[in-house]
Homo-oligomer: A and B are copies of this chain.
């Protein structure tokens, strides 16, 4: 059977249906569906995406049989409409529009009013009785067609603002100016008639061709232009950004023109079956009388609210369609109800009213923000439109994020003065006054000011300032830089790597694009998008706890979810926050941050600088009670939920002063005060710093290598953990400590570290005389550990994948350094995405799958989790579910997102199982439908 290239729709019957999006594009498929639903759709037909592919591969030729199919479809439309394309007496006009599988707004071409020629214009005037209207439509056709079809065909690539369309617009402006008109509508028929002549001459002069006076030429010109626009620059770059494959192609929809601008019984509008901003279930939309669709979208005229309920303080004086055309509104509302019932989802509609008759031009699933998505999902479920699992699937996990952070008021953001952009490291919005040092941030905050800390990059020594600030902005660093990690942990708004900033903390200023901002200047950050603005911008507060829809949806999600969600938390405050967000345990409690406090860093340094084991032990002894208290409070906060505590991980030099700064200070002192005792002290400090200096600290003496070569450090930590656990249990409170050995790469490391920890644990339990259940496990973050997971599992009760480090070492990328070339790689399609943000499933993922399989082979019940940044990334969470993880762990503010992602992964499993069950039958069915 020959392929079908053209799908007709009209008068209640359509060749296509909504499932055929791949072939007909979204628009075409839904026009067919609405037609089948007997809704008033202007008749027309769709040229398939396969024609596009053929067209693209064959230098603009059409497959055999395509043209005759179009002729036949035109004839069917003519029959329905009782008019003829090109007929001088009773002419039919077409619109020619693109329509791809996925919406690509504004990326491809459209031509309207196709079929107006010197021969059909008189008939059209007679038919409509409106000369001015017809001439204006013709003017619009010339303008659109010469731009979309002719200029492209001539191979002209004009400079921006100097295309044929702009040249014609300039002629229009001239006429308006001459006559003192304000709006296009003021132009008379005579004005238009002479303007049309000017247009035609201009087109001939610039494009060296006459504007075609043949309806068929116009039609095929339009179709070709739409197909060609699939391979246009704009479309290609959009496809690259959105990962849309080239081979999809676009369909072309040729449809009878209907006019919303044929007088005041005509109108046009766009509507949503529910409010896309709030989710409330009222029909929502905007309309304009005597206007064309473009006019609503373009924003030249302020559109009117669709219904009375839609009115706001700003729009209460404007007429609603409900009031102006109550019958039509009722008809439209009925269509709205049917479409929602049919599609089971909120729809985004376009309609036109021509001389008192309603026409539907488009329906598609409507976009919505996070708040609205959650509310709609819950409402629709309560309305029995969808079931609970479908409700859960309706909300993208990252949309949940919007509910957890204050957001910039979108309207206010639109008007704000843009400064620069960076990486969106911590979501939400924040306004504050600039401070350039952590101390200053803390000081100003102490005075009750809202501060934004602006640094080149942050270090553990800036943590107090970061805490005091509303948000953090850095010029350097990537998504997993110190600033990003800490901010995300706190759910704090943060932008990193804003490379255009030149920051001088000394001069207390930052320069960007020629402007200078000083300490105390107000700026606002959109951490969700990575944008920085001048001044203060209104914030919309986040109160997920008060959002009943959110709470309901998360309950449904948790019901279906099979994987646990834990949090990464280093303090009781974080732990409590995370529990509020639904964390079921701590998957990663880093102990190193605990050593940066003022009361501790001194003891820590003493320990590091000690030249003997006994001196080290002495310093560690002062740290022990402090650590024990940390752990005690965290255990109490977690109230019996498991707490995985990682032993000291970072290289020791992180706790010492900066090497280069020391060298410079010494060089200066040597000249200025060569005999000062400070110089001597600094020199001996530098000596130790030099000893600890490493060329590649990421691959150096850290993780379990520390605890193995300096066992007294691990001993102190394990003792602190177990003493705290025993103290908790003594108070009759539950407690589940899990001791995690970091950076294991070889079975023997784990064996030795485990034996060491086990001995201390048993000793403490014996001393304290209570029973505490505990586990000892390991991070899997070294490729070798993944490869030899079968060996390591013999000594580990749990695996926690540290995917940050595992990604670093599997790729050979340093998080701190790779930002530059990763950016280049993504821009140049060498990497599909930043592997530190979304788990690289095809590379790192293979290692993880291998490790899970090997680990479970040795120890079938081994508990497996993830505690890298990826634990909060929805795609990565789904990977973890698929790979059989017991839990994911992420920063507190990502916990709800992870819960959602885990729930959706579980639902996908259920659906895949359902699809498999009635094996052969189901397969046939889906095939048919598709």
Residues on A lying within 8 angstroms of B by beta carbon are 659-660, 663-664, 667-668, 671-672, 694-701, 705, 708-709, 743, 745-746, 748-749, 752, 781-784, 787-788, 791, 805, 808-814, 816-818, 820-821, 824-825, 828-831, 840, 842-844, 846-847
In the bound complex, do residue B843 and residue A699 qualify as a contact, i.e. CB atoms below 8 Å apart?
no
Closest 5 CB pairs of A and B: A699-B814, A696-B814, A700-B817, A784-B843, A694-B817
Q: List 27 A-B contacts (CB under 8 A).
A: A659-B660, A663-B664, A664-B664, A664-B667, A667-B667, A694-B814, A694-B816, A695-B698, A698-B814, A699-B699, A699-B809, A699-B812, A701-B818, A708-B828, A709-B821, A745-B811, A746-B811, A746-B831, A748-B829, A783-B847, A784-B810, A784-B843, A787-B846, A788-B843, A791-B842, A805-B812, A809-B812
Q: Measured between C-beta atoms, what is the minimum distance from A766 to chain B in Å?
A: 27
Number of copies: 2
Residues on B with C-beta less than 8 A from A840 are 784
Chain B residues with Cβ below 8 Å from A824 are 708-709
Partner of A782, one of B659, B812, B830: B812
Complex: chain B residue closest to A808, CB-CB? B699
Known contacts A787-B846, A809-B812: A748-B699 contact under CB 8 Å: no
User: Is A814 a contact partner of B783 (Cβ separation < 8 A)?
Assistant: no
Within the assembled complex, what's the spacing in Å between the Cα atoms of A898 and B662?
Answer: 48
Instruction: Name which of A746, A805, A830 has the most chain B CB atoms within 10 A of its CB.
Output: A830
Beyond the given A699-B818, A782-B811, could you list 14 further A-B residue pairs with CB under 8 A, ordered by the A residue number? Answer: A664-B664, A668-B668, A668-B671, A671-B671, A699-B699, A700-B817, A709-B821, A749-B830, A752-B828, A783-B783, A783-B810, A783-B811, A784-B843, A788-B846
A703 closest partner in B (C-beta): B812
How many whole Å from A757's CB to the nearest CB in chain B? Answer: 15
* Complex Cα gap A820–B708 (Å): 12
Residues of B close to A787: CB separation below 8 A: 810, 843, 846-847
Give the nearest-CB partner of A750 in chain B.
B830
**Are B784's CB and A812's CB within 8 A?**
yes
How long is the Cα–Cα vector from A814 to B697 in the complex, in angstroms?
A: 8
Distance between Cα atoms of A844 and B787 in the complex (Å): 8
Among B697, B809, B820, B829, the residue within 8 A (CB) of A695 is B697
Residue among A694, A752, A809, A821 having the largest count of chain B Cβ atoms under 10 Å: A809
Contacts of A783 in B (CB 8 A): 783, 809-812, 847
**Interchain CB contact (< 8 A) of A701 among B664, B810, B821:** B821
Q: Which residues of B contact A709 (CB under 8 A)?
A: 820-821, 824
- Which of A708, A746, A842 has the most C-beta atoms of chain B within 10 angstroms of its own C-beta? A746
Interface centre among A701, A805, A810 (most CB of B within 10 A): A810
In the complex, the answer to whether A818 meets B659 with C-beta atoms within 8 Å is no
Q: Which residues of B contact A701 (CB under 8 A)?
A: 817-818, 820-821
| Min CB gap A811→B, angstroms | 5
Given A709-B824, A812-B809, A818-B699, check contact A830 B663 (CB 8 Å): no
Min CB distance, A286 to chain B, in Å?
A: 45
Contacts of A696 in B (CB 8 A): 696-699, 814, 816-817
Q: Which residue of B lies closest to A751 (CB)?
A: B830
**Whole-angstrom distance from the CB of A58 to the nearest CB of chain B?**
25
Tell whether A844 pairs with B784 under 8 Å between CB atoms, given A668-B671, A708-B830, A810-B809: yes
User: Given the complex of chains A and B, what is the CA–CA distance between A878 and B531 in angstroms?
Assistant: 57
Q: How far is the CB of A864 from chain B (nearest CB, A)?
A: 19
Contacts of A820 in B (CB 8 A): 701, 709
Give the chain B neighbours of A825 by CB distance below 8 A: 708, 748-749
User: Which residues from chain B contact A847 at a C-beta distance below 8 Å?
Assistant: 783, 787
Cα A745 to Cα B805 in complex, Å, equals 16
- Known contacts being A671-B668, A787-B846, A830-B746, is A817 close to B660, with CB within 8 Å? no
Tell me the bound Cα distance from A498 to B487 in angstroms: 45
* Complex alpha-carbon distance, A663 and B663, angstroms: 8
In the bound complex, CA of A672 to CA of B668 (Å):
10
> What residues of chain B lie closer than 8 Å to A698, measured between beta carbons?
695-696, 699, 812, 814
Least distance between A672 CB and chain B CB atoms (Å):
7
Q: Is the CB of A748 within 8 A of B659?
A: no
| Bound Cα distance A649, B660 (Å) | 26
Chain B residues contacting A749 (CB-CB under 8 Å) are: 825, 830
Assess the B748–A830 pair: CB atoms within 8 A: yes
- Complex CA gap A698/B700 in Å reads 11
Residue on B nearest A822 in the bound complex, by CB: B705
**How long is the Cα–Cα vector from A806 to B748 in the complex, in angstroms?**
20
Q: Known contacts A843-B784, A847-B783; is A695 also within 8 Å of B817 by CB? A: yes
Contact partners of A664 in chain B: CB under 8 A: 663-664, 667
Q: A481 to chain B: closest CB distance in Å?
A: 10
Measured CA separation A705–B812 after assembly (Å):
11
Taking CB atoms, residues of chain B closer than 8 Å to A694 are: 814, 816-817
A162 to chain B, nearest CB (A): 29
| Bound CA span A825–B745, Å | 12
Q: Shortest Cβ distance from A302 into chain B, in angstroms? A: 49
- The interface residues of chain B lying within 8 Å CB-to-CB of A828 are 708, 752
CB closest chain-B residue, reference A845: B787
Contacts of A781 in B (CB 8 A): 812
Q: Is the CB of A788 within 8 A of B699?
A: no
- Chain B residue numbers with a CB within 8 Å of A791 are 842
Determine the distance from Cα of A781 to Cα of B811 in the docked complex, in whole angstroms: 10
Asked whether B817 lies within 8 Å of A743 as measured between CB atoms, the reply is: no
CA distance A787 to B805 in the complex (A): 17
Known: A745-B811, A810-B784. A817 touches B699 (CB 8 A): yes
Q: Which residue of B lies closest to A807 (CB)?
A: B784
Question: Once bound together, how far apart are the Cα atoms of A749 and B667, in whole Å?
Answer: 44
Contacts of A672 in B (CB 8 A): 671
Q: How far is the CA of A749 from the CA of B825 in the complex (A)?
A: 9
| Nearest Cβ on chain B to A714's Cβ, whole angstroms | 14
Given contacts A667-B668, A700-B814, contact A748 B809 (CB under 8 A): no
**Once bound together, how far apart are the Cα atoms of A602 and B696, in whole Å?**
27
Report how far A285 CA is from B829 CA in the complex, Å. 74
Counting chain B CB atoms within 10 Å of each CB, the highest count among A708, A812, A840, A846 belongs to: A812
Closest residue to A705 on the B side, CB-wise?
Answer: B821
Question: In the complex the two chains form, is B700's CB within 8 Å of A818's CB?
Answer: yes
Q: Which residues of B contact A746 (CB under 8 A)?
A: 811, 830-831, 843
Can you name the residue of chain B whose Cβ is closest to the Cβ of A781? Answer: B812
Chain B residues with CB below 8 A from A782, complex form: 810-812
A697 / chain B contacts, CB cutoff of 8 Å: 695-696, 817
A660 CB contact (under 8 Å) in B660, B700, B748: B660
Query: Known: A784-B812, A847-B787. Is A830-B752 also a contact (CB below 8 A)?
Result: yes
B671 pairs with A788, CB closer than 8 A: no
Complex Cα spacing A142 to B817, Å: 72
Contact of A811 among B667, B784, B812 (CB under 8 A): B784
User: Nearest chain-B residue to A661 (Cβ)?
Assistant: B663
A733 to chain B, nearest CB (A): 38
Q: Which residue of B lies closest to A846 (CB)?
A: B787
**Closest CB in chain B relative to A187 CB, distance in Å:** 52
Known A698-B696, A784-B844, A788-B842: A745·B821 in contact at CB below 8 Å: no
- Distance (Å) between the CB of A173 and the closest chain B CB? 42
Q: Do A743 and B812 have beta carbons less than 8 Å apart? A: yes
Q: What CA separation (Å) do A660 and B689 show in the bound complex?
A: 14
Distance, CA A743 to CA B830, complexed state (A): 14
User: Which residues of B sit under 8 angstroms from A830, Cβ to Cβ?
Assistant: 708, 746, 748-749, 752
Chain B, residue nearest A844 (CB): B784
Docked complex Cα distance between A701 and B788 (Å): 29
User: What is the CA–CA distance of A410 and B99 in the complex, to the nearest angstrom?
Assistant: 86
Q: Which B residues are CB-close (under 8 A) to A846?
A: 787-788
